[in-house]
Structure 1
Amino acid sequence: MSFEDRLIPVGLSKIDDGRIAITWKDGATLEYAVDRLRAKCPCANCVDEWTGVVKINYDDVRGTGFKSITPVGSYAFTIRFSDGHDTGIYTFQRLRQLGEVWAETESQS
């Protein structure tokens, strides 16, 4: 498998109101806490586009669920969160990276 195969999602499932799972072309399945994804929103409302300073913190969005997930072209998803926020574009590369970091963190605890 090529490196790019790691960045192609082949499955998306809802685990519960607060968690989703993405299965990647290389066979890996990674779980994502929706409120953690909300806290990592890359949009200009959540991250200063000039400085990169994050404008929200996890405590502000703790417990946020999702309403829908929609593909953006062939490179990303946009997530409509239960708090109404829906402007972030989550690239597959970013989602894979976050999922791997979070899985590693959880395996160490």
Structure 2
Amino acid sequence: MAFADTLKQLPGVSHLDAIQLIDAEGEVVATIENKPGQAGSLAVYNHLAQTFGAISPDAARKGLELYAEHAEDAKENPGKHPNIDRLQGLIERGQTLRVKHQFAA
């Protein structure tokens, strides 16, 4: 299924301003905002957090499936899709990130 079609099936994120990804030491390693160019990733990461409770290696594998054609493009062009690259890195390192939701006012 194409990424655009997948997005239509994920829970909405209009109630979110952003999510923060937090490592084992409690440091914020990334923020994904609800803005053009990031809203799709926000929906994917939000769905993964709701489903898995965190962005674990298993969640990251599912995330790569959800990104569909963009995951392949990310493999071929490292750095072009940092939110996808992050998932691949979590799998490789066996790392888990906690998610903190920032709700819209």
TM-score, normalising length from structure 1? 0.28
Q: Which has the higher helix share?
A: 2
| Greater relative CO, 1 or 2 (CA 8 Å, sep 6+) | 2
> Which structure has the greater CA radius of gyration?
1
TM-score w.r.t. the length of structure 2 is: 0.28
- Give the strand-richer structure, 1 or 2: 1
